Structures are given as structure tokens and as C-alpha cells.
Amino acid sequence: MDTSDAAELIGEVPEAAGDNDRANRFRNRAALMIAILAAALAIGGLGAGNATDDMIFNNIRASDTWAFYQAKNVRQTAYEIAAEALEADLAAPGLDAGRRAALQRRLDSYRATIARYDSEPDPAAPNDPLRGEGKTQLRAQALAYEVARDQAADRDGNFDLAEVFLQLALVLGSIAILALNRAICGLAAGLGLVGALLTANGFLLLVALPI
């Protein structure tokens, strides 16, 4: 080995060492990115589970409340028919005073019941439309449950899309580490960013998805 060969070999050693350092730095950064993406995926999975539970719960409550509303409506209609019959009886000629008074008391009771079925606020919170058992209150409660159900469905949609993007980002990030490919790593980072934004939107619902 002559002097020129030795000089060339010495020059190649730092270059190889530098390549290894750059590769290690790339792998470390990519591994850190994968760890962050995995954490975002776990958080999104928790949010998706809660959103699904909320969606099911509010859907059941809305259905039950509407059923209660319909039952109240049927009863109210029955009392309205009975009240109309009493009014016809009261209009008939020849009623004695005692009979008329009895029919009037019954009619007043039916009318009070009809009014109570229509609106029966909670005595503890008479101004709260979401508390009480009248038709007015039950309708407001059912609509509120439906709104909560729809919001939970929107959250769940964001979390589902976020999971897709984050899973793809994790796969591409792993490939980038094995291949030492910065382009694939950049694509993984972009997909991960979209997934993270969708996860955040799942909690905050700042932007309505077009789907």
C-alpha cells in the first residue's frame, strides 16, 4: 500500500462514519415521530370509544323520550275526546243543577289534566325546558338528545378518519426507517399531521367534515 492509497483510505473512514451518524439521526427522528403518532392514535382510539358510547346512549334516550311523548299525546287525546263529550252533555237541555255541577267539575278536571299533559315543568326548575314530564318538556329533551347524538356521530367520524391516516403514517414511517428514505418519511409525517388534526377536531368539532 503506497502513500496515496493510505491517504485515500483515511479519507474514506470519516465519510463512512458521517454516513452512519446521519443514518442514526434519521432513524432516531423517525422513531420519535412514530412514537408521537402512536400516542395520537391511542388518544384518538379513546375518543372514538367515548363518542360511540355517547352516540348509543343519546340515541336510546331520544327514542325513549319520544315514546314517552307519544304516550302522553295518546292520553291527552283521550282526555280531549272525553272533555268534548262532557261539553255536549252540559249543552243538553233539562239538566238539573246537581248533575250539571258534577259534569262541570269533571270537565274542569279533564281540562286541567290536558293542560298538565301539555306542559308539566319540574317544580325544582320550572324555567328549565329540559326538565319536566309535559309534552313541551319531553319534546325539548328528545331534541336535545338527538343533537347530542349527532355531535357524537360527528366526533366518531373524525376519529375514524384520523385512525386511517395515523395507521398509514405508522406503516410508512416504519418503511422509511428500514429503507432510510426521507421522502417516505415526509409522506408519513404529512399523513400523521392530517390524522392528528382530525383527532383534535374529533374532540373540538371546530370544522364540519363534508362527508
- What are the pLDDT tens digits along the chain (211 aa)? 443 443 343 343 344 445 688 889 999 999 999 999 999 999 999 999 999 999 999 999 999 999 999 999 999 999 999 999 999 989 888 888 888 899 999 999 999 999 999 999 999 998 998 999 999 999 999 999 999 999 999 999 999 999 999 999 999 999 999 999 999 999 999 999 999 999 999 999 999 988 6
Nearest to 86 by CA among 72, 69, 96, 101: 101
CB 48 within 8 A of CB 202: yes
Say whether 132 sits in a helix, a strand or coil.
Answer: strand
For residue 114, what are the contacts with CB-CB under 8 A and spacing of at least 6? 76, 79, 80, 83
Alpha helices in the chain (DSSP H): 3-91, 97-118, 135-179, 182-204
DSSP bridge pairs for 132: 121
Q: Can you tell me the distance from the alpha carbon of 111 to that of 58, in angstroms, rounded to the nearest whole number?
A: 34
Retrieve residue 160's grid coordinates.
375514524
The label of the residue with cell 279533564 reads 110
Q: Can you tell me the distance from the alpha carbon of 200 to that of 206, in angstroms, rounded to the nearest whole number?
A: 9
The reported pLDDT for the residue numbered 92 is 84
pTM above threshold 0.75:
yes
Please say whether the dihedral angle defined by the alpha carbons of residues 9, 11, 13 and 19, taken in this order, is positive or negative.
negative
- Return the half-sphere exposure (C-beta side, CA atoms, 13 A cut-off) of residue 159: 21
DSSP bridge pairs for 95: none
The reported pLDDT for the residue numbered 18 is 57
Long-range contacts of 106-115 (CB under 8 A, 24+ apart): 107/83, 110/79, 110/82, 110/83, 110/86, 111/83, 113/76, 113/79, 114/76, 114/79, 114/80, 114/83
Please say whether the dihedral angle defined by the alpha carbons of residues 64, 70, 75 and 80, taken in this order, is positive or negative.
positive
The reported pLDDT for the residue numbered 185 is 96
The reported pLDDT for the residue numbered 12 is 39
